[in-house]
Amino acid sequence: MTEVETQPSNWNVPNVLTTLRIVLVPFFAWALLVDGGDSVLWRCIAWLVFVVAMVTDKVDGDLARKHNLVTNFGKIADPIADKAITGMAFVGLSIVGDVWWWVTIVVLLREWSVTLLRLSILKKVVIAAADLGKLKTTFQAIALGTLCLPLRDPDLPGWAGTPGDIVFYTAQVCLAIAVALTLWSGWEFFRGVWQQRHTLRSA
């Protein structure tokens, strides 16, 4: 006689952290866009909120796996929370002029198409998170988090604004790498989906 596995309760720390990230999204957006993105104080607060969201994204996943607290709610809510905060960062930074709109559109189309595909039709197809995707997430988080900071102050003289400009353009390089990795990992994901579905149909 086999023992029936007990499904962990949805009321656990990883799910609370995931919910917290979702709740933080509108506050993050508001902080980033105060005074059209020109408020030094609120840009710093937006950066802090983004960092908290990224840290909790790492922590809740580690806790869920370590203590066997993986739930159906977490499987759905975690990627939504992740895409919501990063998606809002892309949109907000495009509004304030720190990220080109075409970059935001391309990245969001890729991210949400992959997420929706994972949550809808891939019940029999399992695509594990690739190292390339994790690397993309790292570069993306570094770039977006850095660009949330008030790096470019037009009121500063040229020499005083140089350090901020250097950090700004370094973040842009990280973002360019993240976009390239986003497109490549997206291609690998869809290729993996097609291959597995083709294998299942042939079986």
8 Å CB contact between 173 and 181: no
Per-residue pLDDT tens digits for 33-59: 999 998 999 999 999 999 999 999 888
pTM score: 0.85
Euclidean distance between CA atoms 11 and 53, whole angstroms: 19
Per-residue pLDDT tens digits for 117-137: 777 665 555 555 567 778 888
Per-residue confidence at 3, pLDDT binned at 50, 70, 90?
A: very low
Task: Sketch the domain layout of the chain as residue ranges.
Answer: 13-202
DSSP 8-class letter at 153 = -
User: Looking at the domain 13-202, which fold is it?
Assistant: Four Helix Bundle (Hemerythrin (Met), subunit A) (1.20.120)
Q: State the Rg of the chain over Cα.
A: 19
Per-residue confidence at 1, pLDDT binned at 50, 70, 90?
A: very low
Angle at 47 (CA atoms; ends 44, 50), nearest 5 degrees: 155
